[in-house]
Amino acid sequence: MSGTIYVARDAAHARMAEAIENGDPLPFDPEGQVVYFTGPAPARPGHPLGPAGPTTSSRMDPYSPLLIERGLRGMIGKGMRSEEVRDAMREHGCVYFGAVEGTAALLARRVKEAEIIAYEDLDAEAVRRLVVEDFPVVVINDLYGGDLYLEGRERWRRAQ
């Protein structure tokens, strides 16, 4: 994946849900955007971002449908998503991508620019805008209800 993506974790998602409930503006317009679930480490001198591995996506499940309904087109994380999130993805056209855990330093090397845009007080969980180049991800849940975790297990079972 190459282009602009946004970073938001648990605390930022809770604040965005509160903003939606209160009718307040969000830190970015989710229409057509991708959110990466990570809490990056501090950047070393000369680098835009520190190591930034994927966090467990299910922690964002209570909030994800709110953003998907507002046009979010992609999410990046690790682990399975709830049926409610997968239903919202199918209904509104959103894809869930997996990033490989344990590759935080490699993923950070793919970040060309990073900027905190909201909730700076949350430190590592602040909302950031990233520009990434050749960011390695794999489609886990597609627009049609496909689920690589479930389908992969089934293919493995048949191969035995």
Would you give per-residue pLDDT tens digits along the chain (160 residues)? 999 999 999 999 999 999 999 999 999 999 999 999 999 999 999 999 999 999 999 999 999 999 999 999 999 999 999 999 999 999 999 999 999 988 999 999 999 999 999 999 999 999 999 999 999 999 999 999 999 988 877 776 655 5
Q: Which distant-in-sequence residues (6+ apart) come within 8 Å of 90 by Cβ?
A: 143, 144, 145
CA dihedral 112, 113, 114, 117 (to 10 degrees): -150
Distances (CA, A) of 142 to 23, 48, 148: 30, 30, 9
Sequence letter at residue 140: I
The full set of domains in the chain, from first to last, is: 3-159 (3.20.130.10)
How far apart are the C-alpha atoms of 69 and 123, rounded to whole Å? Answer: 27
Specify the residue for token string 């060309």: 112
